[in-house]
């Protein structure tokens, strides 16, 4: 690796600098932050076998590695500025790196952000991305801002829902069998999540709290409830589901939708008086949003079905976060 | 890993927030940057077996992982503000994590910086740290600022020198045998580098260029020469050497000092008229500095001995960067 490292970085990852005062190639990147703005920072590490399969196309991996980080900025309502990439590679593989760079930069360009630095080393395949965004000082959407009485909302693709990424994983695990286009649909959801960056920014002044769905709806909602000191009632039958997931047995639908993980949608709360404004904001950015419950003063999470009856079932994530 | 992850982060890595507007525990950290300052950012990834040995004490690993990142800020003359940590761990090991956290935070406290976020996952042992600092807008020390006629300087421990980390590696590799205290001295240099943060800031207005020594003196000097479009003449006999290294055969001294790597000292250039000021700045922060050569208009790197005669020898790093 040592001899080729600098050349490979230059070949696939060095690009003209735009916003950054200084980009890849010095000891540090230098970034200008506007007055009155706070810098929002998030790091995510992706490990082969845990966060992605060795069979994933490199371009899709590049997309996803950046997407999961942008999703954290989206959850804060921050505008993305730039990112760094640290990469551990088993071998110096130009085909892999070219694919990775193409997927990474396609998404970066979509959001107008630059790669401003990083590191490359030999080792087990591992990608660590740190993203930087800016948000008006004091106006970031936080997990801790939720209030009793708020509606609970989730975003989703127009015509789609939560849980498709988990359904794809079940196919890869051999637990579920799907036809060709159904599999491609859910595999796309798993490999090519769309970070809800525009929605996050559109929710300033509307939402009281927000988090992105990475660990599964129940687990992530648990973070919000604990950070905000409130409880929730969630209607499991109100969860948005894609036609592919909706064709599966109900227990699998709930498992995928409630504790699936890897959705990278936004879970947010807003006062009922702002329902029309939330719907208009989502429509303006081309994202679906569904109201799935309400926040309550009583601590804990109450899962009900469409008739309001307590839901029966075994949701690991739910149990864990209730007891924590 | 999944169940214990959040608890372990909270136990060992969550601390009260000071400078950051919001620390560990939300989707993003929020960081305030002062008006008129630029944000300096650097990421480094450390992989077991490549950057550290499995036998290293966790506290020393924590120190080193942060130290190599702070060294990048030092090379820009930036003041450290905060850092993120992404961690991939083979198993959830409280003893390891406690040790890691203790070494990490001891150095963080020394520099008054906070851990503001990160990620933890299961996987082969890998640490990725991203550091943030601030530097007056337009005043960062860069690799590209070197000018023909500048003196070439390196920093070093008072009474010590470059190359000790490499000498320790040679002992671990079984190529060199050292007595007890000699080994402890060079092992300390390898495992506990002192990032030259105060020196970097003291060099504002004095140095034309700076870089930190991570890949070895010749390789890192090559980066500066190419970025600045200049050449250099370096007196190999002027390299500062610790008493332990100075007791080794001359060929090994030069190999360790010139292409050893892992020194985390600063290599910088400054005009001859500022010699006294450079020495005073270094003395004020308690760091040694040695003048080892000069920059020249003619491209390329000319290594000479103390008599000015061209040096004979085989320095991989040197060859590589001359030909690049």
Facing B117 at nearest CB: one of A32, A43, A210: A43
Say if A228 is an interface residue toward chain B (CB within 8 Å): no
pTM, two decimals, is 0.84
Task: Calculate how close chain B gets to A243, using CA atoms only, in Å.
Answer: 30
Asked if B78 and B120 count as a contact pair (C-beta separation under 8 A), the reply is no
Size of interface A-B (CB pairs under 8 A): 209
Residues 303-322 of A with CB under 8 A from B: 320
DSSP letters of A190-244? HHS----HHHHHHTTTT-SEEEE-SS-HHHHHHHHHHHHT-EEEEEGGGS---HH
Query: Tell me, what's the pLDDT at A138?
Result: 83
CB contact under 8 A, A38 and B49: no
User: For the stretch B125-142, what's the b/e string if a residue is b when 16 or more beta carbons lie within 10 angstroms of its beta carbon?
Assistant: bbbbbbbbbbbeeeebbb
Q: What is the DSSP letter of A172?
A: H
DSSP letters of A21-69? SB-BTBSSEEE---TTEEEEEEEEEEEBTTTB-TTS-HHHHHHHHHHHH
Q: What is the DSSP letter of A286?
A: T
Query: Tell me, what's the pLDDT at B320?
Result: 39
Query: Tell me, what's the pLDDT at B16?
Result: 54
Residues 83-112 of B with CB under 8 A from A: 84-88
Distance between CA atoms of residues A224 and A232, nearest Å: 10
Which positions in chain A touch B82 (Cβ < 8 Å)? Answer: 41
Asked if A248 and A176 count as a contact pair (C-beta separation under 8 A), the reply is yes
pLDDT tens profile B80-134: 998 999 999 888 788 888 899 999 999 999 999 988 887 888 889 999 999 999 9
Distance between CA atoms of residues A264 and A156, nearest Å: 9
Asked if B289 and B155 count as a contact pair (C-beta separation under 8 A), the reply is yes
Query: Tell me, what's the pLDDT at A27?
Result: 64
Query: Tell me, what's the pLDDT at A56?
Result: 84
Distance between CA atoms of residues B324 and B318, nearest Å: 10
B interface mutation test: which of A38, A41, A213 has the most B CBs within 10 A?
A41
Beta bridge partners of A302: A233
Say if B21 is an interface residue toward chain A (CB within 8 Å): yes
Structure tokens given for B154: 């390196």
Task: Calculate how close chain A gets to B274, using CA atoms only, in Å.
Answer: 24
> Which one, of B133, B69, B130, lies nearest residue A130 by Cα?
B130
> Which one, of A121, A114, A127, lies nearest residue A83 by Cα?
A114
Which positions in chain B touch A47 (Cβ < 8 Å)? Answer: 88, 121-124, 126
Q: Tens digit of pLDDT per residue, chain A (324 long)?
A: 333 444 555 566 565 545 454 445 566 666 667 778 888 888 889 998 888 877 889 999 999 999 999 999 999 999 999 899 999 988 878 888 889 999 999 999 999 998 888 788 888 999 999 999 998 888 889 899 999 999 999 999 999 999 999 999 999 999 999 989 999 999 999 999 999 999 999 999 999 999 999 989 999 999 999 999 999 999 999 999 999 999 999 999 999 999 998 999 999 999 999 999 999 999 999 999 999 999 999 999 999 998 989 986 555 344 433 433
pLDDT tens profile A211-264: 999 989 999 999 999 999 999 999 999 999 999 999 999 999 999 999 998 999
Rounded mean pLDDT of chain B?
A: 87
> Which one, of B249, B285, B250, lies nearest residue B265 by Cα?
B285
Query: Tell me, what's the pLDDT at B7?
Result: 59
Prediction ipTM score: 0.80
Facing B117 at nearest CB: one of A42, A86, A144: A42
User: What values do phi and psi take at A251, rounded to 5?
Assistant: -60, -40
pLDDT tens profile B245-303: 999 999 999 999 999 889 999 999 999 999 999 999 999 999 999 999 999 999 999 99
Name the E strands within chain B: 29-31, 37-47, 79-89, 114-122, 126-136, 151-156, 209-212, 231-235, 266-270, 288-296, 300-304
Q: Which residue has the higher pLDDT, A149 or B13?
A: A149
Facing A86 at nearest CB: one of B6, B43, B212: B43
pLDDT tens profile B120-171: 888 899 999 999 999 888 888 989 999 999 999 999 999 999 999 999 999 9
Asked if A120 and A89 count as a contact pair (C-beta separation under 8 A), the reply is yes
- B72 pLDDT above the threshold of 70: yes
Q: Within 13 Å, how many C-alpha atoms sit on residue B290's CB side?
A: 18
Task: Calculate how close chain A gets to B152, using CA atoms only, in Å.
Answer: 18
Please, what sign has the CA dihedral across residues A136, A142, A148, A152?
Answer: positive
């Amino acid at each position: 690796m040592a001899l080729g490292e600098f050349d490979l970085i230059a070949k696939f990852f060095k690009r003209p600098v735009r916003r950054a005062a200084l980009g890849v190639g010095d000891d540090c990147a230098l970034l200008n932050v506007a007055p009155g703005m706070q810098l929002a920072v998030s790091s995510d590490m992706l490990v082969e076998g845990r966060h992605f399969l060795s069979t994933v196309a490199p371009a899709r991996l590049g997309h996803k590695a950046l997407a999961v980080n942008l999703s954290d900025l989206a959850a804060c309502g921050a505008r993305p500025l730039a990112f760094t990439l640290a990469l551990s590679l088993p071998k110096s593989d130009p085909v892999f790196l070219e694919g990775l760079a193409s997927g990474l930069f396609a998404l970066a360009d979509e959001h107008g952000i630059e790669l401003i630095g990083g590191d490359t080393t030999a080792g087990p395949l591992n990608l660590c991305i740190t993203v930087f965004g800016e948000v008006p000082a004091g106006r970031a959407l936080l997990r801790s801002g939720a209030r009793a009485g708020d509606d609970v909302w989730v975003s989703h693709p127009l015509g789609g829902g939560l849980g498709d990424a988990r359904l794809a994983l079940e196919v890869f695990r051999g637990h579920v069998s799907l036809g060709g286009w159904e599999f491609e649909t859910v595999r796309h959801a798993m490999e090519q999540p769309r970070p809800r960056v525009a929605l996050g920014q559109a929710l300033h002044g509307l939402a009281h709290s927000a988090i992105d769905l990475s660990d599964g709806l129940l687990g992530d909602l648990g973070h919000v409830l604990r950070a905000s000191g409130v409880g929730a009632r969630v209607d499991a039958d109100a969860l948005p589901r894609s036609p592919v997931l909706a064709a599966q047995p109900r227990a699998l639908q709930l498992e995928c939708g409630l504790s699936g993980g890897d959705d990278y949608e936004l879970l947010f709360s807003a006062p009922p008086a702002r329902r029309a404004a939330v719907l208009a904001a989502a429509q303006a950015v081309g994202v679906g949003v569904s109201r799935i419950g309400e926040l309550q003063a009583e601590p804990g999470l109450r899962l009900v079905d469409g008739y309001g009856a307590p839901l029966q079932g075994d949701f690991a994530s739910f149990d864990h976060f209730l007891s924590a």
